[in-house]
């Protein structure tokens, strides 16, 4: 039994598809609790990097080690996709599903699911099909579903892309609450304002490589790399 699955140590990890390097080689440690944001231009490999950390993409070379056995580490993580993947079930059944997978009894899972739905203002929609929810509601449901089993690490892939201000604010509130309960959040985003609002540390990715990984305050005030400076200035990076 381990107390924490962190740190995550990644060494010389490399991912390529059809002969083209997508990620790597990258070496970094995820150690601290709090909010890590991955930023970078489109196509820089942010999502692939996030998926690699979670285990949805396997590095062809290099190693990725958690503070425990990989199988055990997987049990304490959750992932929220950019386009939420919801089960073809009702809202509450979507909430219950991961709790039941973790072995929770139905009644207990049902009660917990209701608590979460109340928190994200979807309790009245409990019995509706998840398909008919709005984009923002679907994303809130996906995030609540990820957080409900109390994972130690949550990965989020651009969770507020294409959402309106109200939904973005609700989701950020949800994530801030999760941080208070010692959940580690690793999130990709395009929204610089959001990165500034939420981040404790920032990882800047460009062309599959990590150009900077530092505390949010130092990254936004005094970036080291030329690429990060150009990106923050609003230049187009190809």
Partner 1 sequence: MNDILEGMFSAFHLIISLDKDLLEIILLSLKVTLSAVLIASLIAMPFGAWLAVSRFRFRRMTIAILNALMGLPPVVVGLIVYILLSRSGPLGVLNLLFTPTAMIIAQVIIITPLIASISHQAIRDLWAEYHDLLISLNASKTQRIFTLIKDGKRSLLTASLAGFGRAIGEVGAIMIVGGNVDQLTRTLTTAIALETGKGDFAFALALGFILIALAILVNLAIHSISKTERASTW
The binding site for partner 1 (CB under 8 A) comprises 54-56, 74-75, 78-79, 81, 85, 87-89, 97-98, 101, 129, 131-132
Q: Looking at the chain, how many residues does it have?
A: 238
By C-beta, is 51 or 211 nearer to partner 1? Answer: 51
By C-beta, is 53 or 205 nearer to partner 1? Answer: 53
In this structure, how many other beta carbons lie within 10 angstroms of the beta carbon of residue 226? 9
R_g of the chain, CA atoms, integer Å = 18
- Minimum CB–partner distance for residue 237 and partner 1 (Å): 28
Distance CA(204)–CA(209), nearest Å, equals 8
Is 231:237 a contact under the CB 8 Å cutoff? yes
By C-beta, is 94 or 199 nearer to partner 1? Answer: 94
Distance CA(101)–CA(65), nearest Å, equals 24
Distance CA(228)–CA(212), nearest Å, equals 7
- Listed in order, strand segments (DSSP E) in 69-152 are 77-80
Both tokens assigned to 234 = 């609003």
Sequential DSSP letters for 183-201: -EEEEE-S-HHHHHHH-SE
- Minimum CB–partner distance for residue 130 and partner 1 (Å): 8
- Minimum CB–partner distance for residue 85 and partner 1 (Å): 4
- Minimum CB–partner distance for residue 24 and partner 1 (Å): 21
- Minimum CB–partner distance for residue 69 and partner 1 (Å): 13
- Minimum CB–partner distance for residue 175 and partner 1 (Å): 18
By C-beta, is 10 or 53 nearer to partner 1? Answer: 53
Residue showing tokens 């990709």: 188
By C-beta, is 112 or 207 nearer to partner 1? Answer: 112
By C-beta, is 154 or 202 nearer to partner 1? Answer: 154
């Amino acid at each position: 039994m381990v107390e924490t699955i962190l740190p995550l140590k990644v060494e010389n990890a490399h991912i390529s598809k059809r002969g083209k390097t997508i990620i790597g080689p990258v070496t970094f440690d995820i150690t601290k609790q709090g909010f890590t944001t991955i930023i970078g231009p489109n196509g820089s490999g942010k999502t692939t990097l996030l998926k690699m950390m979670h285990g949805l993409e396997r590095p062809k070379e290099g190693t990725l080690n958690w503070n425990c056995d990989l199988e055990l580490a997987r049990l304490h993580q959750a992932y929220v996709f950019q386009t939420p993947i919801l089960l073809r079930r009702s809202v509450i059944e979507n909430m219950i599903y991961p709790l039941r997978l973790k072995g929770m009894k139905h009644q207990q899972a049902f009660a917990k699911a209701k608590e979460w739905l109340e928190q994200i203002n979807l309790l009245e929609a409990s019995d509706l099909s998840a398909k008919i929810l709005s984009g923002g509601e679907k994303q809130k449901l996906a995030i609540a579903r990820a957080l409900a089993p109390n994972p130690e690490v949550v990965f989020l892939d651009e969770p507020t892309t294409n959402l309106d201000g109200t939904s973005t604010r609700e989701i950020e509130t949800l994530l801030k609450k999760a941080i208070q309960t010692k959940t580690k959040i690793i999130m990709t985003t395009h929204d610089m304002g959001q990165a500034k609002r939420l981040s404790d540390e920032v990882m800047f990715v460009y062309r599959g490589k990590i150009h900077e990984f530092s505390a949010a305050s130092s990254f936004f005030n005094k970036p080291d790399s030329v690429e990060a400076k150009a990106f923050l200035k609003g230049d187009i990076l190809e």
